[in-house]
Structure 1
Amino acid sequence: VLRSSHIDIGATWSPNGTTVAGDSEQGNRLNQLNSPQGICVDNEDQVVYIADWCNHRIMKWKFDLTNGEIVAGGNGAGNRMDQLNNPLDVIIDKETDNLIICDSGNQRVVQWPCRNASRGQTIISNIDCRGLAMDDNRFLYVSNYNKSEVQRWRIGDSQGTVVAGGNGKGIHLNQLNGPQYVFVDQDHSVYISDMNNYRVMKWLQGAQEGIIVAGGQGKGNTLSQLSSPYGVIVDPLGTVYVADCGNHQILIVLKPTEQTPLSALYCAALIKESGDKLECGGERVDNKDYFIKTTIFSDVKDDMQITREESDLDKTIDAAEKGFQYDSPWLDVPVRTAHRAVFTHAGQVCFAASRICVHSTLHDAFVSKSVELAKKRIVGDPFDLTTEQGP
């Protein structure tokens, strides 16, 4: 199962995998694993920790070594503090140098020192835990399979807080059904592999319902479907990586752009074409004081009408004395500068909400050069280093 606490922004995906732990046969020797589940990578110490499910132990594997080391459990299945029972996940708390383990068969979360420890300590009891994550404030996030919810805990507290689900099993956006692994990003948004709903959910901090970021179209093997999603991690660009166990694959879900140079041009063309010819303005958008921005979804007519009406408002600009002024022959410089500023976050997270204000005498020439420059941008595979904008 795919698990990690962080993916470096410069990391690249390799289509060919390399074995880093275990061999070709399952077993209980130090060079073997038996149904490994959660994985935690410690880049600082160059080791990987593995929840060795059927061997009831946590293995520590240094990079490039043939044999691993038992660091927790390994004394048979049981509920003593020197035992584990089908551990499903493991993470590392670097501040205390402790492993935190989802001891699923014992329905508890235990804490175990990383080095030279013979027993652990229970920190959460009576919880059907399946996945763990920790944010930068050291809050612990635990998926509770039985209750179809994710809880946030401060280690040492006797009660957790529900941050996702908690409304019974179901398919609605405020529900989960069999949550497995969890991931928390830098904004404290929680990503959950909602296994029995065949989807991955994103729950913004404080939200009452989640957002489907992968799957949600029933069980299947198309690119819009999942089958038994387990591990989930997210990189700094918002790319979601899902261990789609039922389909025996890793699915990569790219975060879509809100605006790119080309999509901005196409959107502008659609708005221009709408004019007064379309019957627009549904009741749900009559009061536009509440709208900060509009996005074209299924009801294109309403969105275009709002955009057109708002564009009729008079705008005034107080030009600063220190503002740069260019004559027409020198327009290449401000056009390139404007594109760098507006589209500086090129790629999956491009957000170009800025407006470029141009004097009326230069407007047509500026737009022409801007369109020409936008069409030259290299759009394509975001994993290709030559790509300027994608996907």
Structure 2
Amino acid sequence: MDSTTVSLVQTTFKIVTSAEDGPAQLTRDIFANLFAASPETRELFPASMDVSRQRLLQAIGYVVDKLDTPRRILPFLEQLGRDHRKYGVKDAHYTAVGNAVLDALQSFTGNQIWTVEVDEAWRQTIALISATMMGAANSESRPSTWTGTVVEHKQVLRDVAVVRLQLDQPMEYGAGQYVSVSVPGRPRMWRYLSPAIPSNPQGQIEFHVRQVSGGWVSPAIVGQTSPGDKWSISAPLGALGVDRTDDRDMVMIASGTGIAPLRAQLMEMAMRGSNPRVHLFVAGTYPCDLYDIETLWQLSMTNPWLTVVPVSEEAENPWWHTEPVPESPPGMHQRLIGKVGQVVSGFGTWADRDIQIVGSTSMVQTTKFRLLAAGTPAECIRYDPPS
């Protein structure tokens, strides 16, 4: 795609998104156009469209921003295409959505801005998006979804639950990857979760879920899940994981339920003959937020390459949590007090390590900023969407 085409697309999109109520109007118009032209597509979406509108805008924005770097957007679009199989999306739906986007953009900008050249630039962009997503979806041989039956639901904190499921067939995924799940109480609404155990031939899977204030899916998982519930689970996504061809030592940093994908990697590593050294920083606001610390200590005691460093912002638990704070076993690192980014960067640059960060968006960005400020090379730091 030539520079003129990229410039026309980026300039047009900036005009729309910088206008007052522009993003909201654009997504409203896109879906209104789509449902008017293809009424059957309404069944692919949940009753509330807020999340769908937000995700569509984010995806378009990311592609437009990276349009001049195909090596960045093509893998993103391929992954998006494979993931969209869970919705039941067919080839014809990509054409319908593309037309809806073009009509909404033209209606918003008007004929003075929406010239023949702009129209052609956007048609090339939509064609690239559609063809890449369709190609990846149609070449995928794995099931679009698995069915998982809840076998255990354990509430470990007021707002955190551990859920174990038995899949209808084994799912192969890399430790550190994530999937999306749909639960009975929230049909056609999907939430990304990272398995907390490695893939296994028995089809067992485990998730750690924190209830998000104002969220749609996580409150139903934490507060309403019961054994016997049937979940839909999509094919795995993401590239977070340990490179078996690289022997560089590692730093893993997790906050809250972000421990799940790192825990799965550590469990998988424990089954190997040799591993690089790993420093795991596991953090929370209160000591009780380190709900899985005893499992991590057990891993560390049987695997000398693993060092576990507990971190909490507060020294004591809140008044409503009455269980005692667990004491570090002999030989284990004592709990440190402070924000995890500040604590980790206080040890130095870690420039000789591969670093993985998992947690909320704010935690990931703050920790990354602290590390960069301490001299950590940006290419050493990896993270996927928050857990």
Q: TM above 0.5, one fold? A: no
**Higher RCO structure (Cα 8 Å, ≥6 apart):** 2
Larger relative helix fraction: 2
TM-score under structure 2 length normalisation: 0.29
Task: Indicate the structure (1 or 2) with the bigger Cα radius of gyration.
Answer: 1
**Which structure shows the bigger proportion of residues in strand conformation?**
1
TM-score (norm 1): 0.29
